[in-house]
């Protein structure tokens, strides 16, 4: 056989440009869904590398495209269909427009989109793009008038005041979050190895009140200590940098480091957020398909996004 077989046809997949074949939505002001997939290819990249993760959102759409006909099938990660009877489905809002030179405009575009979507009672699932993408999302959530806990799942702590002269880049995301009045608690899970942060950045985070659960401790003590740190009834923003996952299952990222979390550890953290509190917004960032290995990373992350949609749909229905 010289031609690669179309395995998606085996599952009855149909051609689609949206994530999981979901309905597209271009009018955010009238959106009616449980959650919304929003692609953000770029926000504030560093000049040395540019928008290296710009193809991240579309890579997830392609990775899960073989299951477009299976959306109503049993999802064993959730114990039932992704969107059970009585729940609203998610929609795909496409990719936001972006500039590789006007970063302030990128941030404004993301903030406006997220503010509009969240204002409709829909949970935005922002898919990047590098880890500067969450900063305007976090800012936008302040427009709801609520206070939030940030649950960051990441190999890095992102507490630099600035890096390469930029204060809104991927190394400063949690530092910027800590300066927002509507962010009342930050829990950071999965830090490991060597990143861009200094020991003084870690000390600043501790002084602010961040609760850290580093990767080594997660593997030693499990996730229960993290669960107990999430206040019951909290409104929660999930910031998921995919380099938190072990590179054996998520090689599609620039910040690979051994000792990462498993698929089910991250899924349990997402489930715990919905059980202990209310998921209000989510981001998945640092998705770089150009360094993926046989599509393994895109497969892993796309399944996590789909599971998150199902968790949010159940949360909304309850």
Q: What are phi and psi of 92, to 5 degrees?
A: -115, 115
pLDDT tens profile 195-226? 888 999 999 999 999 999 999 999 999 999 99
What is the band of 2 on the pLDDT scale with cuts at 50, 70, 90? low
Torsion of CA 32, 236, 158, 264, to 10 degrees: -90
What is the band of 318 on the pLDDT scale with cuts at 50, 70, 90? confident
What is the band of 14 on the pLDDT scale with cuts at 50, 70, 90? low
Number of structural domains, the chain? Answer: 1
Tell me if 5 is assigned to some domain: no
- Average pLDDT value for residue range 48-69: 94
pLDDT of 70 reads 87
Nearest to 87 by CA among 36, 39, 35: 35
- Average pLDDT value for residue range 299-311: 98
Nearest to 315 by CA among 286, 272, 254, 268: 272
Ramachandran sector of residue 147 (left: φ over 0; alpha: ψ -120 to 50; beta: rest): beta
Tell me if 45 is assigned to some domain: yes
Distance, CA of 192 to CA of 195 (rounded, Å): 8
Tell me if 6 is assigned to some domain: no
pLDDT of 69 reads 78
Tell me if 7 is assigned to some domain: no
The greatest distance separating any two alpha carbons of the chain, rounded to the nearest whole angstrom, comes to 62
Q: How far is CA 317 from CA 66, 84, 88, 311, in A?
A: 27, 10, 8, 10
Distance, CA of 168 to CA of 213 (rounded, Å): 24
- Average pLDDT value for residue range 265-279: 98
**Are 47 and 128 spatial neighbours (Cβ–Cβ below 8 Å)?**
no
Tell me if 19 is assigned to some domain: no
Task: List b or e across 286-309, with b for residues whose CB sees 16 or more CB atoms inside 10 angstroms.
Answer: bbbbeebeeebbbbbbbbbbbbbb
In the structure encoding, which two tokens stand for residue 191, read together? 């830090």
Tell me if 197 is assigned to some domain: yes
pLDDT of 282 reads 98
Tell me if 205 is assigned to some domain: yes
CATH number of the structural domain spanning residue 311: 3.40.800.10
First to last CA, the chain: 50
- Mean pLDDT of all residues belonging to the chain: 95
pLDDT tens profile 119-164? 999 999 999 999 999 999 999 999 999 999 999 999 999 999 999 9
Q: Supply the range of the domain harboring residue 117.
A: 31-317
In the structure encoding, which two tokens stand for residue 112, read together? 């406006």
pLDDT tens profile 257-270? 999 999 999 999 99
Distance, CA of 237 to CA of 186 (rounded, Å): 10
In the structure encoding, which two tokens stand for residue 281, read together? 């917004």
Tell me if 288 is assigned to some domain: yes
DSSP letter (8 states) at residue 213: E
User: Which helix (H) or strand (E) covers residue 104, if one does?
Assistant: helix 103-119
């Amino acid at each position: 056989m010289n031609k690669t077989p179309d395995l998606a046809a085996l599952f009855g997949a149909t051609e689609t440009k949206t994530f999981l074949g979901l309905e597209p939505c271009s009018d955010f002001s009238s959106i009616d869904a449980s959650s919304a997939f929003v692609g953000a290819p770029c926000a504030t990249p560093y000049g040395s590398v540019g928008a290296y993760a710009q193809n991240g959102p579309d890579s997830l759409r392609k990775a899960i495209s073989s299951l477009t006909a299976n959306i109503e099938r049993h999802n064993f990660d959730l114990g039932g269909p992704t969107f059970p009877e009585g729940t609203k489905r998610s929609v795909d809002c496409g990719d936001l427009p972006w500039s590789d030179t006007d970063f302030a405009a990128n941030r404004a575009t993301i903030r406006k989109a997220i503010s509009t979507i969240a204002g409709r009672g829909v949970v935005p699932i922002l898919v990047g793009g590098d880890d500067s993408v969450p900063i305007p999302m976090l800012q936008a959530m302040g427009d709801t008038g609520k206070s939030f806990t940030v649950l960051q799942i990441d190999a890095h702590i992102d507490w630099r005041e600035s890096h390469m002269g930029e204060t809104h880049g991927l190394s400063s995301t949690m530092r910027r979050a800590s300066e927002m009045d509507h962010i009342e608690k930050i829990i950071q899970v999965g830090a490991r190895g060597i990143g861009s942060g200094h020991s003084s950045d870690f000390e600043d985070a501790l002084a602010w009140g961040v609760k850290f659960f580093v990767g080594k401790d997660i593997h030693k003590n499990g996730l229960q200590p993290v669960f107990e740190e999430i206040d019951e009834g909290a409104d929660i923003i999930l910031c998921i940098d995919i380099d938190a996952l072990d590179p054996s299952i998520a090689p599609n990222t620039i910040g690979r480091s051994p000792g990462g979390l498993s698929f089910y550890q991250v899924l349990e953290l997402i489930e715990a957020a919905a059980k202990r509190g209310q998921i209000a917004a989510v981001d998945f960032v640092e998705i770089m398909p150009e360094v993926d290995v046989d599509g393994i990373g895109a497969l892993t992350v796309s399944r996590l996004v789909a599971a998150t949609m199902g968790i949010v749909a159940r949360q909304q229905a309850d």
